[in-house]
Amino acid sequence: MRILLTGAAGFLGSHLTRKLLDNGHSVIGLDDLSTGNLGNLEFASSNSDFTFVEHDIREPFFTPVDGILNFACPASPKHYQSDPVRTIETNFLGIINMLHLAKQTGARLLQASTSEVYGDPIESPQRESYWGNVNPIGIRSCYDEGKRAAETLCFDYKRQYGLDTRVNRIFNTYGPNMSQDDGRVVSNFIVQALQNKPITIYGDGLQTRSFCYVSDLVDAIYLTFMYPNPLSYPINIGNPREFTMLQLAEEVIGISNSKSILKFEDLPEDDPKQRCPDISQARELLGWEPKVFLREGIEKTTQYFSNNLNR
């Protein structure tokens, strides 16, 4: 297939680029490089099946394609809160432009959504049928509500125009190619530990997350995109094993042989207390579930950051 991948130079986008190329597809990678890094795509620079285009998807884009994977948007609170208007525009205008392209070309489209659509959930684990508990005017809403609006548009275009649109709700993911200043908890903890700096714990550290290693997540995205039949509902992808922030910090300190101590700070506004996916649909429909345990994934990610910090 000839596939357009937006956000190609980002953390997930770069891993998806490799996955698509390895499976014989031709990839056009779009990125405005606001948070993406061309170094993440160095492996593809000499591949004749890969073309990179610097482009902001808030503006229309046209090229003949068979498939579209829309991954263009900063995903860490630090980055998406730094320019909230740009964030919600990227989500809203970006998906409109990609849906217009899909309508023009007849392409299949997969939208990268997020567990953030569940907000600060009052039920756990979160099933796709759960409507969420989102603050529509909070500091995180530029991302949360932007992704919710993008999902709405995908299913409206499916109903009104018959487009083949698919949605993955992505839970916490980590691995190589994350930025050192990404702002998400795994990268924060690992970089602080490697530098023997205090590890920042927000709140009491008992809030939970479910961490999925990037190779597992990319496999699930690819299976969703290549599924032979249209999908009429979103699919959660993530690791259903829950860990507290304190457990994660202890794991990182142990693996990195760090002398770091824990430093507690106030919990940010609207920060969810619990996040855990119900992946029943992914198991039943895609035959997928995560394979990489937390310790193995943290070891690989720590090695990546150690190499980059040393460089």
Question: Domain residues of the chain, as ranges?
Answer: 2-173+212-237, 179-209+240-276+291-310
Q: Model pTM greater than 0.85? A: yes
For 280, the 3-state DSSP assignment is helix
Mean pLDDT of 270-295: 94
Q: What is the pLDDT of residue 177?
A: 94
Over residues 46-97, the pLDDT tens digits come to 999 999 999 999 999 999 999 999 999 988 778 888 899 999 999 999 999 9
Over residues 161-193, the pLDDT tens digits come to 999 999 999 999 999 999 888 878 999 999 999
Please check whether the domain covering 2-173+212-237 is classified as CATH 3.40.50.720.
yes
Q: What is the pLDDT of residue 311?
A: 67
Q: Is 143 a catalytic residue?
A: yes
The superfamily CATH assigns to domain 179-209+240-276+291-310 is UDP-galactose 4-epimerase, domain 1 (3.90.25.10)
Closest-CA residue to 9 (of 179, 245, 244, 193): 179
Using the CB atoms, write b or e for 243-254: b if 16+ within 10 Å: bbbeebbbbbbe
Whole-angstrom distance, CA of residue 28 vs CA of residue 51:
5
* Long-range contacts formed by 184-189: CB under 8 A, 24+ apart: 184/75, 184/76, 184/77, 184/78, 185/209, 185/245, 185/248, 186/211, 186/248, 186/252, 186/298, 186/301, 187/301, 187/305, 189/248, 189/249, 189/252
Over residues 215-225, the pLDDT tens digits come to 999 999 999 99
List the catalytic residue out of 80, 118, 143, 174.
143
